[in-house]
Amino acid sequence: MKLFSYFRSSAAWRVRIALAYKGIPHGTVPVHLVRDGGQQHSESYRELNPQGLVPVLEDDGQAFAQSLAIIEYLEETHPEPPLLPPDFAGRARVRQMALGIACDIHPLQNLRVLDYLRGPLAQGDGPVADWVRHWIAEGFRPLEELARRHGDGRTHLYGGSVTMADVCLAPQMYNARRWHLDLKPYSALVAIDAHLMTLPAFSTTRPEAQADAE
Amino acid sequence: MKLFSYFRSSAAWRVRIALAYKGIPHGTVPVHLVRDGGQQHSESYRELNPQGLVPVLEDDGQAFAQSLAIIEYLEETHPEPPLLPPDFAGRARVRQMALGIACDIHPLQNLRVLDYLRGPLAQGDGPVADWVRHWIAEGFRPLEELARRHGDGRTHLYGGSVTMADVCLAPQMYNARRWHLDLKPYSALVAIDAHLMTLPAFSTTRPEAQADAE
């Protein structure tokens, strides 16, 4: 397997965590999202992923995009250790939390979206930072509530082991800090993230530990 | 099962299609996203879904949110007829296409996001419509390419039967038309959507056919 990744992309980090957690051997190809006008826009990369976004996982001659599609693929091809609970209701709940981050927080603070806010919508740094913090907070508020309902509020978002939801949480917390979001209202999320970052699958895959980190 | 739905929500429409396609008996509770300041913000609804978004599926005393989490749940609890192909690679590809809509198009044109553009960012109707069309086009361009690579380009996004990806496509095409996006560059998507809308699971669940339609 080969992962096309950018050190700071939180979607790529999700896949790095899943690969590490499952102990799946793979190579990593860095794709620089800013240098050369964005290497993800090159013809050869668009061949792998017409969306021109990271990550992409290449396996068995096929290239797959969308981090959660890739993680579901890894879960099906390498079931152990699992990133989803065994029961239907638990799986739905974990996916709900993961999608709450992957659909409703992350895409709104993506590089291309911020470029559009600064460009065609002529927004300055202040309003752009407010926008990012607003949408992270909008997503963290319900996630904090769900973490208290369905997890222990201290170590994992759901149940007592790492799930797809935790895999999405850690990179989003990293992003929240980069944007100086006040994390005081989210004490469960802060505690869970602190626990996750003690696990090698999370700590060894963090942006600063990547070969392409700057 | 009970579905909390709003006739015009494309995320709710996705779940209506999946329920109809699988022939799962259920009740429908309308949640009006505009009336009363938005019924999704009520305390009782936030109890069901702390995110305050539609849809929610209630089953067996539990309430699940996030349309794709709900559809995966329906796929696991009611496997026939399937909305995912049987092979790992096919499943990854279908999820990639579904998430390309659910993460990278739809959340950017959600009611709450447009409210923020009009409010704090002080954007007028023209720039807001341009924003919506820009992100739909950004998502449709790669989807058109994937439809040609992995489907027949005429009836389904992937393979020869309805998948989770088609379930996401039809509501997004409806939205694209509402926003007057020029659909000429997406002839495969237009053809596939036309075919899908001949199927009862899609046509009977469309916004205009809902009890709460206006």
Of the partner residues B69, B108, B130, the one whose CB lies closest to the CB of residue A99: B69
What architecture is the B88-201 domain classified under in CATH? Answer: Up-down Bundle (1.20)
Cβ–Cβ below 8 Å for B76 and A68: no
- Give per-residue pLDDT as tens, B51-101: 999 999 999 999 999 999 999 999 999 999 999 999 999 999 999 999 999
Which residue of A lies nearest to B137 if distances are taken between CA atoms? A51
Same CATH fold assignment for domains A2-80 and A88-201? no
Distance from the Cα of A119 to chain B's closest Cα (Å) equals 11
Would you state the pLDDT for residue A160?
95
Query: Model-level pTM?
Result: 0.98
The first and second tokens of residue A43, run together, are 């013809």
Distance from the Cα of A143 to chain B's closest Cα (Å) equals 8
Tell me the pLDDT band of B159, cut-offs 50, 70 and 90.
Answer: very high
- Give per-residue pLDDT as tens, B129-153: 999 999 999 999 999 999 999 999 9
- Give per-residue pLDDT as tens, A95-120: 999 999 999 999 999 999 999 999 99
Would you state the pLDDT for residue A3?
98
Buried (b) or exposed (e) across B124-153, using 16+ Cβ within 10 A?
eeebbbebbbbbbbbbbebbbbbbeebbbb
Chain A neighbors of B49, CB-CB under 8 A: 142
Which residue of A lies nearest to B49 if distances are taken between CA atoms? A142
Phi-psi region of A111 (alpha: psi -120 to 50; beta: other; left: phi over 0): alpha
3 state DSSP class of A174: helix
Would you state the pLDDT for residue B54?
97
ipTM greater than 0.90, yes or no? yes
Packing angle, helices B111-118 and A125-150, rounded to 10: 150
Going from N- to C-terminal start, the domains of chain B cover 2-80, 88-201
Which residue of B lies nearest to A130 if distances are taken between CA atoms? B120
Compute CA distances A151 → A162, A173, B59, whole Å.
11, 17, 20
Mean pLDDT of chain B: 97
What architecture is the A2-80 domain classified under in CATH? Answer: 3-Layer(aba) Sandwich (3.40)
Low-confidence ranges of chain A (pLDDT < 50): none
